Amino acid sequence: MKRSFSLPMSNVFLPISRTDMESRRWDELDIILITGDAYVDHPSYGAAVIGRVLENALFRVGIIAKPDPSRLDDFTRLGRPRLFFGITAGNLDSMVANYTANKKPRSDDDYSPGGKAGFRPDRAVTVYTNNVRQAFPGAAIVIGGMEASLRRLAHYDYWSDTVKRSVLCDSKADILVYGMGEEQILEIAGRLKEGGGPKSLEGIPGTVIVKNNIDGLKNYVSAPPFEEAAKDLDKFIGAFKAIYAENDPSRGRTIVQRHGQRFVIQFPPAKPLKQDELDRIYGLNYARRWHPVYDKKDGVPGFETVRFSVISHRGCAGECSFCALFMHQGRIVQSRSRESILNEIKRISQDENFKGTITDIGGPTANLYMTRCARWNGPGTCAAKFCLVPEKCKNLELGYTQTVKLWKDALKIPGVKRIFVGSGVRYDLLTDKYSDEYLNALCKSHVSGRLKVAPETFEESVLKLMNKPGLDIYENFVRRYRYINEHLQKKQYLVNYIISAHPGATLESALNLSLKLMKMNIYPEQIQDYLPLSMTVSGCMYHTQKDFFSGKPIHVAKGERERKLHRALIQYRNPENKRYVIEALRALNKMSLSKKFFEKS
């Protein structure tokens, strides 16, 4: 929906033009951020957060959003920054933004003006960096965001079906920031301000650099070199295991991986932010809207989904194999204070477009807000066991009491009529007495008719590879959810997210899943073809066709045809899938089951 804003851009938004700079009486910027997303000044957009953090530290910051790589003047519009360029592909990896799981070009881009696709280059971090190098030889360049974070060392690239070297080598940037990046970017800016130059940036937690030698480097782990990992599957697994094992801010060590004659050096992850630090970041002066230059372009569709939502925490203790969060935000949950969240809701309630509904208070997993573990501030996360699988660790303390109190207090804010939980919940944390208060409150007041959960599959062998809880736990949750809603006299449903063709899933297991779904009277509308993201456990399994933890061979559906058959069996009611279902049943010699699939469809 098109909306317009009349706020004076020079006073509300970071400068995007020379005119904006002049209105602030600036003839030069300290830092210029380049992003593949449209400029939306909201805490859900990474470039906006980094920009506001730097601005708050009294740096002069400007933004170049969605530059055209074919036009060098798009990169020179703000001049040369005094300190550095910060480059990100945007909130998504550019290849994920541009292509579907089956490598087809996407027809839209929610992070672009008007939702139009085609305005973000493939491998945007490298493309933008090369443009800056051409326009400003010798300028310091920092890369970050999801694309850089998940490509920081040798990684499997699904779109080229090859192992690629660190994006730092391809882009030739000076330093890579991985993770959320606020502390790293302030440290980088501070060191460059002191005149140290790019060579002064060594040793910053949460960053990666490239050096010609590792003389004097201590307490590091050597990962198999890129050239070996690219050719040998076992070497690739070895390299990824080194990265996986050291991905902890307390116990993690520096990783060194040779690329040719040079060394890519990843320093340990940055320490988790303290609560007051997180509060400060989300309390900065965000305009909470897209830049007015997009008013005539129908705005930015992706913003509408977060306009009246609040981020309550970061990190996820779930560590699902297919999810990129483990390598980006980590397992340690960092939560904002109740006061900080309430203050943000008060600001939202004063928006002239606000109609009374907070669409979400959440994070990667909504019901992990205020989750704590005594180890997180000491030795770090456990290296030998997971937090939630096969069951919740007894040392993990959930913040359900604080969450219910937060909901109650938020509803007392004038103008706030409803608060929904729009982000998904971990249903395995809603199956015992400790969750009674939370689940009752959730069902009573905070479900907008349909609650999102992500069982992903019901095949036990695949669930184990996904690092997800078993079918019995899901069934226990469903019984509790239905019982509570019946008691409340509410008709509320579940939206079940399913992944098809995950590593380990065979055509036979896809059939078994479909039959289970029929028996459970579930027809999943929200189904995702598995997408192998770089530097994820599932991505490693997809490439190597081996169980990451046991080393045993597993089946991987790699061809587009087989992937279509998996999806068709799960979404058999779709008329377009009928011929694929028949093909799958014939391949499995199970045509006797055809009546089950088609008698009601």
Q: Is residue 271 part of a domain?
A: no
Arithmetic mean of pLDDT, 294-317: 95
Task: Give pLDDT tens digits for 373-426.
Answer: 999 999 999 999 999 999 999 999 999 999 999 999 999 999 999 999 998 899
The reported pLDDT for the residue numbered 26 is: 96
The two tokens of residue 82 are 């005094």
Asked whether residue 279 carries a pLDDT value surpassing 60, the answer given is yes
Q: Is residue 99 part of a domain?
A: yes
Asked whether residue 1 carries a pLDDT value surpassing 90, the answer given is no
Q: Is residue 179 part of a domain?
A: yes
The reported pLDDT for the residue numbered 217 is: 95
Q: How many angstroms separate the first and last alpha carbons of the chain?
A: 35
Q: What is the CATH number of the domain that holds 99?
A: 3.40.50.280
The reported pLDDT for the residue numbered 453 is: 94
Arithmetic mean of pLDDT, 150-158: 98
pTM for the structure as a whole? 0.94
302-323 burial, b if ≥16 CB within 10 A, otherwise e? bbeebbbbbbbbbbbbbbbbbb
- Which DSSP string do the residues of 497-523 spell out, in sequence order? EEEES-TT--HHHHHHHHHHHHHTT--
Asked whether residue 213 carries a pLDDT value surpassing 60, the answer given is yes
600: confidence class by pLDDT, cuts 50, 70, 90? low
Q: Is residue 172 part of a domain?
A: yes
Residue type, 493: Y
- Which DSSP string do the residues of 106-144 spell out, in sequence order? PSB-TTSGGGBSS-S-TTHHHHHHHHHHHHSTT--EEEE
Distance CA 136, CA 130 (A): 10
3-state secondary structure of 86: strand
Distance CA 556, CA 266 (A): 30
Distance CA 14, CA 37 (A): 15
The two tokens of residue 514 are 């479909």
Domain boundary among 149, 181, 200: 200
4: confidence class by pLDDT, cuts 50, 70, 90? very low
- The residues pairing with 334 across neighbouring beta strands, listed in sequence order, are 314
Q: Is residue 456 part of a domain?
A: no
Which residue in 281, 66, 115 sits closest to 185, CA to CA?
281
Q: Is residue 58 part of a domain?
A: yes
Percentage of the chain lying above the pLDDT 70 cut: 98
Q: Is residue 146 part of a domain?
A: yes
In this structure, are residues 381 and 346 in contact, taking their beta carbons and an 8 Å threshold? no
Domain boundary among 158, 175, 200: 200
Tokens 């998504």 sit on residue: 92
The two tokens of residue 124 are 């945007």
Number of domains in the chain: 2
The two tokens of residue 2 are 């098109």
In this structure, are residues 539 and 158 in contact, taking their beta carbons and an 8 Å threshold? yes
The reported pLDDT for the residue numbered 181 is: 96
596: confidence class by pLDDT, cuts 50, 70, 90? confident
Task: Give pLDDT tens digits for 501-520.
Answer: 999 999 999 999 999 999 99
Domain boundary among 200, 230, 248: 200
Q: Is residue 454 part of a domain?
A: no
9: confidence class by pLDDT, cuts 50, 70, 90? very low
Enumerate residues 6+ apart whose C-beta is below 8 A from 108.
115, 116, 117, 301
| Cβ count near 73 (within 10 Å) | 9
Cis check: omega of the bond before 225, within 30 degrees of 0: no
Instruction: Give the mean pLDDT of the chain.
Output: 95
The reported pLDDT for the residue numbered 525 is: 80
Backbone angles phi, psi at 445, to 5 degrees: -135, -10
431-452 burial, b if ≥16 CB within 10 A, otherwise e? beeebeebbebbbebbbeeebb
Residue 90 domain boundaries: 9-200
Number of residues that this document lists for the chain: 601
- The residues pairing with 40 across neighbouring beta strands, listed in sequence order, are 290
Task: Give pLDDT tens digits for 264-274.
Answer: 999 999 999 99
Task: Give pLDDT tens digits for 88-143.
Answer: 999 999 999 999 999 999 999 999 999 999 999 999 999 999 999 999 999 999 99
